[in-house]
Structure 1
Amino acid sequence: MDNLRDFITSDGRLDSRYIHKRETLYQGMNGNLVERFYTAPDRSYIFKPLTHPGQDGRESWVYKHILPRLPAIYPRLLARSGPRQEGQGWSIFEDLGPLSHEFDADTMLKVVKEMALWHAFPQTAWPADLPFAGQKPRIESIVEELRERQEEVSELLTELGLAGICLTEEMTELLQTAATPGFQASQVLCHGDLHLGNYALAGDKLFILDWEHAHLNTPYWDLYHVLDMSHPLFPKQMTPILREQALNAYASESSRHGKAWDRGKLRKEYCLFAAVFSVWMLLLIRSDLKRGKAIWPVPLLKAQWHETVKSLAKCVECLYRREAETIGYPSNYTDKVVGE
Structure 2
Amino acid sequence: MIQNLLKLRRFAIIALCWFAAVSPALAQQWPDKPIRLIVPAPPGGISDAVARLIAEQLRANLGQSVVVENKPGGSAVVAERAVMNAPADGYTWMVGPSSVLSDIPLTVKTPYDPLKTFTYVAEASSMLHVLVANANFPPNNVKELLDYAKRNPRSVSVANLSVGTRSNLLGEMLREKSGNNMLVVPYKGSAPAMVDLLGNQVQLTFEVVSNVVPLVKSGKLKALAIASPSRSQYLPNVPSFGEVGLPDFVLPHASVGAFVLSSTPKPLIDRIQSEMAKVVRAPKFREALTAQGLDLPQEASADQLHQILATTMAHNKEIIEKLQLKINPE
Bigger relative contact order (CA 8 A; separation at least 6): 2
Q: TM-score, normalised by structure 1?
A: 0.26
More strand by share: 2
Q: TM-score, normalised by structure 2?
A: 0.26
